[in-house]
Chain A
Amino acid sequence: AQTVTQSQPEMSVQEAETVTLSCTYDTSESNYYLFWYKQPPSRQMILVIRQEAYKQQNATENRFSVNFQKAAKSFSLKISDSQLGDTAMYFCALPGAGSYQLTFGKGTKLSVIP
Chain B
Amino acid sequence: DAGITQSPRYKITETGRQVTLMCHQTWSHSYMFWYRQDLGHGLRLIYYSAAADITDKGEVPDGYVVSRSKTENFPLTLESATRSQTSVYFCASSDIPGQGARTGELFFGEGSRLTVL
A residues within 8 Å of B by Cβ? 6, 31-33, 35, 42-45, 47, 50, 52-54, 91, 93-95, 99-107
Enumerate chain A residues within 8 angstroms of B88, measured Cβ to Cβ. Answer: 43
Enumerate chain A residues within 8 angstroms of B48, measured Cβ to Cβ. Answer: 99-101
Enumerate chain A residues within 8 angstroms of B74, measured Cβ to Cβ. Answer: none
B residues within 8 Å of A by Cβ? 31, 33, 35, 40-45, 48, 50, 58, 88, 90, 92, 94, 96, 100-106, 108, 110-111
Enumerate chain B residues within 8 angstroms of A50, measured Cβ to Cβ. Answer: 103, 105
Q: How far is the CA of A30 from the CA of B8 in the complex (A)?
A: 40
A33-B103, A52-B101, A101-B33 given as contacts; is B42 within 8 A of A91 (CB)? yes
Q: How far is the CA of A54 from the CA of B100 in the complex (A)?
A: 10
Q: How far is the CA of A42 from the CA of B88 in the complex (A)?
A: 12
Q: How far is the CA of A42 from the CA of B109 in the complex (A)?
A: 12
| Contact for B42 among A47, A52, A107, CB less than 8 A | A107
Q: How far is the CA of A91 from the CA of B44 in the complex (A)?
A: 12
Task: Please state if B45 and A101 are interface contacts (CB–CB under 8 Å).
Answer: yes
Task: Please state if A32 and B102 are interface contacts (CB–CB under 8 Å).
Answer: yes
Enumerate chain B residues within 8 angstroms of A102, measured Cβ to Cβ. Answer: 43, 45, 104, 106
